[in-house]
Amino acid sequence: AVKAKIAPSMLSSDFANLASEADKMVRFGADWLHMDIMDGHFVPNLTIGATVIESLRKHTKAYLDCHLMVTNPLDYVEPLAKAGASGFTFHVEVAKEYWQELVDRIKTRGMRPGVALKPGTPVEEVYPLVEGENPVEMVLVMTVEPGFGGQKFMPEMMDKVRLLRKKYPSLDIEVDGGLGPSTIDMAASAGANCIVAGSSVFGAAEPAQVISILRKSVEV
């Protein structure tokens, strides 16, 4: 069976204290740190880029699960690889013409490729990327419109997760947006195993407890 990965989204952290926030999440039981990279073009918000990943890498050995909400992901492969990124998840909406080259470069540079889809994108669009000769290793199903933390979970996205899990029993399926103790059971029973959670973890009085609740729901 697929292993649970709990990935606090650092978008909800205090960016002025990123290293200590990251360290805290690892101590609280996080498996991965989810890093939201935005370009102010693919989404109407701007966050961090390779420079910040490089700085954070000097302070942590954690798996940095980078989610690229950018229009030109090819431009980020080299800088992010040098910066020490672990996972590189790009959006299918922008990479239809060149995803094979992109996946190839991500792997060549030692990162783990994943593909993300927005709520309005049909799940069929990622099938070729999972089934290709040189496949992605994770599918990220967005459960909010990308761009901001703290939005409401879209339960209708669980149909996509169910279809993916049925087709690909051992695939890593990540959900991102509005996940927390009140929505995790929907995601876990649909078959998601990688759980991104920003505001529900960082906003909690006891983040470690939230991380453990998320893990237990997935591992049931």
Task: Give the footprint of ligand DX5 on this chain (CB under 6 A).
Answer: 9, 11-12, 34, 36, 67, 144, 146-151, 176-179, 196-200
Helix and strand numbers (H, E) in the chain are 9, 8
Q: Which residue is nearest to Zn ion (CB)?
A: 67
Catalytic site includes residue 176: yes
Q: Which residue is nearest to ligand DX5 (CB)?
A: 198
Helix (H, G, I), strand (E, B) or coil at 210: helix
- For Zn ion, the closer of residues 89 and 217 by Cβ is 89
Nearest-approach distance from CB 177 to ligand DX5, in angstroms = 4
Q: Is 148 annotated in some ligand binding site?
A: yes
Q: Contact positions toward Zn ion, by CB under 5 A?
A: 36, 67, 176
Which of 14, 23, 36, 65 is labelled catalytic? 36
| 148 C-beta neighbours (distance < 10 Å), count | 17
Which of 31, 65, 172, 176 is labelled catalytic? 176
Nearest-approach distance from CB 131 to ligand DX5, in angstroms = 25
Nearest-approach distance from CB 87 to Zn ion, in angstroms = 11
Q: How many CA atoms lie within 13 A of 208 on its CB side?
A: 6
Q: Is 20 annotated in some ligand binding site?
A: no
Is the Cβ–Cβ distance between 54 and 31 less than 8 Å? no
- For ligand DX5, the closer of residues 84 and 180 by Cβ is 180
Q: Beta-strand (E) ranges in the chain? A: 5-8, 32-38, 63-69, 87-91, 112-117, 138-142, 172-176, 194-197
Q: Is 212 annotated in some ligand binding site?
A: no
CA pair distance 79, 90, nearest whole angstrom: 15
Q: Is 178 annotated in some ligand binding site?
A: yes
Q: Which does 12 bind (CB under 5 to 8 A by kind): ligand DX5, Zn ion, none?
A: ligand DX5
Q: Which does 191 bind (CB under 5 to 8 A by kind): Zn ion, ligand DX5, none?
A: none
- For Zn ion, the closer of residues 141 and 158 by Cβ is 141
- Residue 69 to residues 17, 96, 100, 118, 210: CA-CA distances in angstroms? 23, 15, 18, 10, 26
CA pair distance 145, 118, nearest whole angstrom: 6
Catalytic site includes residue 31: no
By annotation, the residues acting in catalysis are: 36, 176
